Amino acid sequence: MMKGRTTMEVGADGVAVITIINPPVNSLSLDVLQSLRASFDEALRRNDVKAIVVTGAKGKFSGGFDITAFGGIQKGKTESPKRGYVAVEVLTDIVEAARKPSVAAIDGLALGGGLEVAMACHARISTSNAQLGLPELQLGIIPGFGVRGSEAHDLGLVDAVVPANELLSTARRWALEIVERRKPWVSSLYKTDKLEPLGEAREILKFARAQARKQAPNLRHPQVCIDVIEEGIASGPRAGLWKEADAFEELLRSDTCKSLVHIFFAQRGTSKVPGVTDLGLSPRRIKKVAVIGGGLMGSGIATALILSSYPVVLKEVNNKLLEAGIGRVKANLQSRVKKGKMTEEKFGKTMSLIQGSLDYDNFRDVDIVIEAVIENVSLKQQIFADLEKFCPPHCILASNTSTIDLNLIGEKTRSQDRIVGAHFFSPAHIMPLLEIVRTQKTSPQVIVDVLDLGKKIKKTPVIVGNCTGFAVNRMFFPYTQAAMLLVEHGTDLYKIDRAITKFGMPMGPFRLVDLVGFGVGIATAMQYIEHFPDRTYKSMIIPLMQEDKRAGESTRKGFYLYDDKRKASPDPELKKYIEKAREISGISVDPKIANLPEKDITEMIFFPVVNEACRVLAEGIAVKASDLDIAGVMGMGFPPYRGGILFWADMLGSKYIYSRLEEWSKQYGGFFKPCTYMAEKAAKGAPLSSGPMEQAKSRM
């Protein structure tokens, strides 16, 4: 494998063009940085070189530091570069301090370290669509923001914006004009024209600290980023650089950075599926999509498709429902217009891609159908039997079911090889996850096609096997049930929601049940009672509340009370339902559970989820543990800075989790009983994410 490098060509005009080459995004590995340093040394040595232009090969300046190197350093496999090697030695003391001027010619992207290289140059010329940003906060290090080339020009980050075909010639001319003193020779490190006086700057940073604490209370690195900025303002740029170098080293080894780097690679690894994506199959082109059902899910799926320029046929059973479905799609797009994310012209063009239908006449040339009707087995079976008659033989038949066995859905067809699950999460045009569910009969070509479609509509696809709840809902079914168990044994439900949101979830289990609605909650719970009776906790709290016409947020009364603006507030009336449920279950308040600290609440809610994730992995429902980490982060909002459910569990250790579950199962029953897979891993002190000992009986 060829190492990353830079090349240098000197033109007749005396400008040395140094090009960064490290496909696919010209990332800055240590090899590239050493080569960049050598190229600069040579350019400075040569008498025929008057000025320097730095650019990237194939229309991309640089995607930043090589993140694979982070993982190597964190695991102790790669030696860390010496303190300050990149920021001080290469970028400041060689590039910025060079006695010949350099200009960065930016196209495509200049992210992270790539933008830092550009900022070390004495001027920056960019194309209008180039992406400039410092996204490292997403990896648990510093710093973080991002803009387009045109906006970067307005901010003063780049000096000129030009078309791509004029980029190099403009940069060369600019570099020579710096030599001739017709353009300013500026060292970015010493630019202070946009800095406020120290006292004022400190007030701004104090406000920024408070904002960061509010938005990311569990994260330290945004605060460190502000500390580094303050050091640079108060003690001068070099002091700031050294503080940044030390902070970077420390943060690189933090749990947060390890977790976020894991998520970065796990997200990119979900589309690698042994026995499917390694067969050399190319995805077939999908030219037209049909969606059956214009409810919340169907309209969201249709929105996601037309936003990525796919023509869509939306089918409903009558005009009233069809108009409502098209209306939902329209409202989804209008919301984007209101937020300034879409122009009126684009809105019109996008809406023109959807057509309504009350029959299957328009299905004769569709390449994929996504069924999104209510969870009713006989209805879905009838639809799939009809689809087989009306759709072309190559057409993929997909269901958005969240619980029903796909084999059952396709039972009355002879097309099992093209039946697949395409499980979106609500709202489908916003939530980033797509579970692609395969049965033992689904053909690899169909999976490759749906993977490609998923990526094109900007989803992260995860391949899972066919079982009740698939990956996300199956893993997280104990999440709400554990919360119910705790409440019946004496924990205050609002304390549970507070503890879980403090841990980093977008909302606690009770707020989530209100949002989803009690009807959906009970329907899915029935599936788990039927399929996993040994470990399902049956609580009467929700059925009792339902009897009193409470259904969650939609009725303004659930576990919380809701005002006109959907603001939730606690409801003192809930005590009567909880007490009645305790009577039915024959449970009395346990003083220990009533006074649980937040750490114990979090563990009693999430360790059963970890336990179920282990079963999903052991049964071969998931391809790999990292897929379950991504599924939990993108489907349920598990905090990415904790690395996903199994990555987080491995930080705590399999022995610890096993011992806690074992202890609780003796006190509170089979709901907490550790599964065999966990017991095996704990006995050996092995990571839970290491996969089954022997080839699991795969349901894929």
Among this protein's residues, is 166 annotated catalytic?
A: no
**678, 658 contact by CB (below 8 A):** yes
Position 579 pLDDT exceeds 50: yes
Provide the pLDDT for residue 694.
Answer: 44
> 260 in a domain, yes or no?
no
Provide the pLDDT for residue 603.
Answer: 98
Per-residue pLDDT reduced to its tens digit, 144-162 = 455 888 888 988 889 999 9
Choose one of 431, 465, 499: the last residue of a domain: 465
Choose one of 465, 498, 529: the last residue of a domain: 465
Residues 37 and 173 in one domain: yes
DSSP state of 96: I
Residues 143 and 16 in one domain: yes
Say what the pTM is: 0.86
Domain that holds residue 561: 473-690
pLDDT class of 697 with cuts at 50, 70, 90? very low
The residue from 79, 89, 96, 136 that is catalytic is 136
CATH of the domain at 578: 1.10.1040.50
DSSP state of 28: B
CA distance 682 to 482: 22
> Per the structure, how many domains does the chain have?
4
**Of 454, 460, 461, 516, nearest in space to 304 by CA:** 454
Per mean pLDDT, which range of 61-70, 216-225, 423-432 is the poorest?
61-70
Position 699 pLDDT exceeds 50: no
For the chain, give the percent of residues with pLDDT over 70: 95
**91, 122 contact by CB (below 8 A):** no
Q: Bridge-partner residues for 471, per DSSP?
A: none
Residues 35 and 12 in one domain: yes
**Of 478, 540, 403, nearest in space to 670 by CA:** 478
Provide the pLDDT for residue 140.
Answer: 62
CATH of the domain at 320: 3.40.50.720
Report how far apart, in Å, the C-alpha atoms of 93 and of each of 96, 98, 102, 498, 516 are. Answer: 6, 7, 13, 50, 57
Q: In which residue are the tokens 């694979």 written?
A: 68
Position 669 pLDDT exceeds 80: yes
Position 554 pLDDT exceeds 90: no
Q: Bridge-partner residues for 41, per DSSP?
A: none
Provide the pLDDT for residue 114.
Answer: 92
Per-residue pLDDT reduced to its tens digit, 107-119 = 999 998 899 999 9
Report how far apart, in Å, the C-alpha atoms of 700 and of each of 271, 371, 435, 498, 648 are. Answer: 15, 21, 13, 38, 26
The residue from 9, 79, 89, 116 that is catalytic is 116
> 695 in a domain, yes or no?
no
**319, 358 contact by CB (below 8 A):** yes
- Mapping DSSP onto H, E and C, the string for 612-639 reads HHHHHHHCCCECCHHHHHHHHHHHHCCC
Which residues have CB under 8 Å from 502's CB, separation 6+? 217, 218, 598
CA 164 to chain centre: 31
Residues 42 and 167 in one domain: yes
Residues 186 and 243 in one domain: no
Q: Residue 206: what residue type?
A: K
> 298 in a domain, yes or no?
yes
> 272 in a domain, yes or no?
no
Residues 217 and 183 in one domain: no
The structure tokens listed for 382 are 């009838």
| DSSP notation for 549-570 | T--BGGGTBSSEEE-TT--EEE
Choose one of 409, 438, 465: the last residue of a domain: 465
pLDDT class of 66 with cuts at 50, 70, 90? confident
What are the percentages of helix, strand and coil residues in the chain, rounded to 5? 55, 15, 35
Provide the pLDDT for residue 336.
Answer: 94
Residues 221 and 314 in one domain: no
Q: Name which residue leads in pLDDT, 181 or 698.
A: 181
Residues 522 and 380 in one domain: no
Per-residue pLDDT reduced to its tens digit, 129-148 = 999 988 766 666 555 455 88
Per-residue pLDDT reduced to its tens digit, 85-97 = 777 888 888 999 9
Q: What is the mean pLDDT of the chain?
A: 91
**205, 195 contact by CB (below 8 A):** no
Residues 331 and 444 in one domain: yes
DSSP H or E segment with residue 418:
none
Q: In which residue are the tokens 């599964």 written?
A: 675
Per-residue pLDDT reduced to its tens digit, 374-408 = 888 899 999 999 999 999 999 999 999 987 889 98
CA distance 100 to 50: 6
Q: Name which residue leads in pLDDT, 301 or 538.
A: 301
pLDDT class of 65 with cuts at 50, 70, 90? confident
> 270 in a domain, yes or no?
no
For the chain, give the percent of residues with pLDDT over 90: 73
Residues 178 and 232 in one domain: no
DSSP H or E segment with residue 439:
none
> 522 in a domain, yes or no?
yes
Strand order across the 354-357 sheet = 354-357, 312-315, 289-292, 368-371, 396-399, 419-424, 433-438, 460-465
Neighbours of 520 (CB within 10 A): 16
Q: Bridge-partner residues for 160, per DSSP?
A: 125
Residues 185 and 209 in one domain: no
Q: In which residue are the tokens 């003690």 written?
A: 235
pLDDT class of 126 with cuts at 50, 70, 90? very high
- Backbone angle region of 242, left / alpha / beta, with phi > 0 → left and psi within -120 to 50 → alpha: alpha
pLDDT class of 78 with cuts at 50, 70, 90? low
> 259 in a domain, yes or no?
no
205-227 residues labelled b (16+ CB within 10 A) or e (exposed)? beebeeebeeebeebebbebbbb
Angle at 540 between CA 534 and CA 545, to 5 degrees: 150
> 268 in a domain, yes or no?
no
Position 681 pLDDT exceeds 60: yes
Q: In which residue are the tokens 């040394």 written?
A: 41
The structure tokens listed for 167 are 């980029």
Residues 500 and 519 in one domain: yes
DSSP H or E segment with residue 125:
strand 123-126
Among this protein's residues, is 694 annotated catalytic?
A: no
Position 70 pLDDT exceeds 70: no
First to last CA, the chain: 34
